[in-house]
Chain A
Amino acid sequence: MQTDRGAFHPTRFGDLAVTVDFHCQSACRFCIVREGMNHYRGVPLERFREIAIDNERSGRYERVIFTGGEVTLEARLFDFLAEARGRFAHVELQTNGRRLADRDFARRLREAGADELFVSLHGPSAKAQDFISQREGSFDEAVRGLENARALGYDVTSNTVMSADNVHCLSEMPELLSRLGVRRMELWGYLPMERTEQAVRLIAPLGELVPSLLRGLERAEALSLPATVKYVPRCLLERFGGALDNSQADVVIVESFWDTFPAFNCLYEARCEHSERCLGLSHAYVDKYGWGQDRLRPAARTTPWREPARGAAAPGASARRASAQGPWAALVGAVPEGTPGTLERGWLTRNQARFRYVFDGGASVELVLEARDEARPALLRTRSFNVFYTDLDARGRDAEIKALLEAAARSVERRDDGSFELDARKGLAREHVRRRLPTAR
Chain B
Amino acid sequence: MSMTTPTGELDRRAWVVQVMGWAVERAARRLTGLAEHDVCLNAGGDVLLRAAPGRPAWRVGVENPGRPGELLDVLERVDGAVATSGTARRGAHIVDPYARRPAEAVRSVTVVGPELLWADVYATAAVARGADALDWLAALDGYAALLVDAAGRVRATAGWPGTRHRGRVGAGR
A binds B: no
Chain B positions within 8 Å of A, measured between CB atoms, are none
Chain A positions within 8 Å of B, measured between CB atoms, are none
